[in-house]
Structure 1
Amino acid sequence: MLKFPPPIWMLIYLLLCAALSWLLGWPRIPGLPLPLLGAALVAVAFIPPVWAFILFQREGTEIEPTSPTNRKLVTSGPYRFTRNPMYSGLVLLAFGIAIWVGAWPMIIAPVAVFATANWVHIPFEEAKMRRQFGADYDAYVAQVRRWV
Structure 2
Amino acid sequence: MKILPPLVMVIFGFLMYLLNRFLPVGHFDFFGRRELSNVLFVLAILIFFIAVFQFVGAKTSTNPINLTKTTRLVTKGIFKYSRNPMYLGMLLLLLGYGLRLGNAFNTLLAAGFVYYMNHFQIAKEEQALTQLFGKEYRNYCKATRRWF
Q: Provide the TM-score with structure 1 as the length reference.
A: 0.91
Cross-structure match for 1:75: 75
- CA–CA distance in structure 1, aligned partners of residues 14 and 32 of structure 2: 18
> Taking every aligned residue pair, what percent have the same amino acid on both sides?
28
What RMSD over aligned residues (CA atoms) do the two structures have, in Å?
1.7
Report the CA distance between 1:30 and its aligned residue.
5.0
For 2:120, what is the secondary structure of its paired residue? helix
Could you give the per-residue CA deviations for residues 63-119 of structure 1, whole angstroms, max 9, x where no partner exists? 011114211111111110011101111111100111122122322332122111111
- CA–CA distance in structure 2, aligned partners of residues 115 and 60 of structure 1: 30
Report the CA distance between 1:22 and its aligned residue.
1.0
Residues 1-148 of structure 1: matches in 2 within 5 Å?
A: 1-2=1-2, 4-25=3-24, 27-29=26-28, 31=30, 34-69=33-68, 70-148=70-148
> Which segment is superposed worse, 30-39 or 131-140?
30-39
- CA–CA distance in structure 1, aligned partners of residues 130 and 7 of structure 2: 26
Report the CA distance between 1:58 and its aligned residue.
1.1
Distance 1:11 1:44, change over 3 A: same
Alignment-mate amino acid for residue 131 of structure 2: R
Q: Once superposed, which parts of structure 1, at least 4 consecutive aligned residues long, lie more than 6 Å away?
A: none
Count of matched residue pairs: 147
- CA–CA distance in structure 2, aligned partners of residues 101 and 33 of structure 1: 13
- CA–CA distance in structure 1, aligned partners of residues 18 and 146 of structure 2: 31
Could you give the per-residue CA deviations for residues 23-57 of structure 1, whole angstroms, max 9, x where no partner exists? 12474125378111111111111122111100111
> Unpaired runs of 5+ in structure 2?
none
For 2:134, what is the secondary structure of its paired residue? helix
- CA–CA distance in structure 2, aligned partners of residues 30 and 5 of structure 1: 33
- CA–CA distance in structure 2, aligned partners of residues 108 and 33 of structure 1: 22
> Which segment is superposed worse, 110-119 or 73-82?
110-119
Report the CA distance between 1:120 and its aligned residue.
1.3
- CA–CA distance in structure 2, aligned partners of residues 58 and 144 of structure 1: 20
